[in-house]
């Protein structure tokens, strides 16, 4: 573990294999995310250096890129992947324009989201609140796919595939030589976050797809992960879906305020998290249930 700046720490992902590198970004200036982090990755193959996600701002990517001089000096092509368009995953894209230009790859829906009016409005709001975002420019991926895309890096193969659920534009990355799955925000401890009712059934299908891959190593963006976490996250969603299906009336707004009470699924049943992040996840749990209820009572 090496501290690279006030907010970014480097750590190896797999013991004894320096090809997979984690860059962990904390949020010391954002109170609502106390105790949390987001991971980006650099993966060094014979042919490519692949950056997976660009964190919060161009300055974050500058920190990451300063560590990769030797790997790039030997002639490897630099490629950038966005797992999805959320602010903590794609707002550092602006680093890779102009003189430092590199191809950015993502699901086509990620491009659409980054080019949307909503994304620009969110950026304006965040820029008013936090100096972190002052140099962010929304930079859309220029190479997109809809189902999957494979890059042959010689020693490592990168299969990027649609993994909708957390968001509709989410992707995951599979490296068969290592049986390594980069799940990004599709899985998370204690549970994944839905951003809309449209994500409920896709997330179930995505988690089933992950299990079918039978990964040996699993990484995700906001917590530690393994195959058991995929199973646990799938159980979580399926349990909530089953309980929400039992609600036969259209929930009132007052009931939706306490959605976990309505379907008798308290936060403590799914998490023993008592860290700084628990307030965040308590709220996320209520929102998840509201989205699941919406699939029955739109
Ligand atoms: Zn995220």
pLDDT digits (tens, 9 = 90+) for 172-191: 999 999 999 999 999 999 99
Task: Please give the distance, rounded to the nearest whole angstrom, from the Cα atom of residue 241 to the centre of ligand 1.
Answer: 23
* Domain boundaries along the sequence of the chain: 2-242
Q: What is the pTM of this model?
A: 0.96
* CA 291 – ligand 1 centroid, Å: 18
Give the model's confidence band at 25: pLDDT under 50 very low, under 70 low, under 90 confident, else very high. very high
| b/e burial code for range 159-197 (CB count within 10 A of at least 16 → b) | ebbbbbbbbbbbbbbbbeebebbbbbbbbbbbbbbbbeb
What CA dihedral angle connects 118, 83, 129 and 286, to 10 degrees?
A: 80
pLDDT in tens, 98-156: 999 999 999 999 999 999 999 999 999 999 999 999 999 999 999 999 999 999 999 99
Write the class of the CATH domain 2-242: alpha beta
CA of 186 from ligand 1 middle (Å) equals 9
Q: How far is the CA of 52 from the centre of ligand 1 (A)?
A: 13
Q: How far is the CA of 61 from the centre of ligand 1 (A)?
A: 16
- Whole-number Å distance, alpha carbon 167 to ligand 1 midpoint, is 10
State in Å: Cα 89 to ligand 1 middle. Answer: 6
Q: What is the whole-number distance in angstroms between the Cα of residue 74 and the centre of ligand 1?
A: 32
Please, which pLDDT band fits residue 275 given cuts at 50, 70 and 90?
confident
For ligand 1, a single-atom ion, the residues with CB < 5 A are 88, 185
């Amino acid at each position: 573990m090496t501290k690279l700046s006030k907010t970014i720490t480097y750590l190896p992902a797999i013991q004894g294999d320096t090809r997979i590198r984690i860059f962990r970004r904390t949020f010391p200036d954002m109170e609502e995310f106390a105790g949390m982090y987001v991971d980006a990755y650099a993966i060094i193959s014979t042919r490519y250096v692949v950056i997976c996600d660009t964190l919060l701002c161009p300055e974050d990517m500058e920190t990451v890129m300063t560590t990769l001089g030797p790997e790039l000096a030997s002639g490897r092509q630099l490629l950038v992947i966005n797992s999805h368009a959320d602010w903590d995953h794609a707002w550092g894209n602006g680093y890779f324009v102009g003189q430092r230009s590199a191809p950015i790859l993502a699901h086509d829906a990620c491009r659409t989201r980054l080019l949307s009016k909503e994304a620009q409005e969110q950026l304006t709001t965040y820029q008013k609140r936090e100096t972190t975002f002052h140099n962010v420019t929304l930079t859309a991926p220029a190479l997109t796919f809809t189902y999957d895309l494979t890059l042959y890096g010689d020693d490592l193969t990168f299969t990027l595939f649609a993994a909708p659920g957390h968001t509709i534009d989410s992707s995951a990355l599979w490296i068969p030589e290592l049986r390594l799955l980069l799940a990004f925000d599709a899985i998370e401890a204690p549970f994944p976050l839905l951003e809309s009712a449209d994500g409920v059934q896709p997330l179930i299908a995505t988690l089933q797809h992950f299990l079918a891959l039978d990964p040996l190593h699993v990484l995700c963006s906001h917590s530690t992960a393994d195959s058991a976490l995929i199973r646990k996250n799938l159980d979580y969603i399926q349990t909530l879906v089953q309980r929400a299906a039992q609600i036969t009336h259209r929930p009132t707004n007052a009931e939706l305020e306490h959605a976990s009470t309505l379907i008798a699924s308290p936060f403590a049943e799914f998490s023993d998290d008592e860290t700084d992040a628990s307030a965040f996840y308590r709220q996320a749990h209520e929102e998840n249930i509201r989205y699941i209820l919406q699939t029955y009572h739109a």
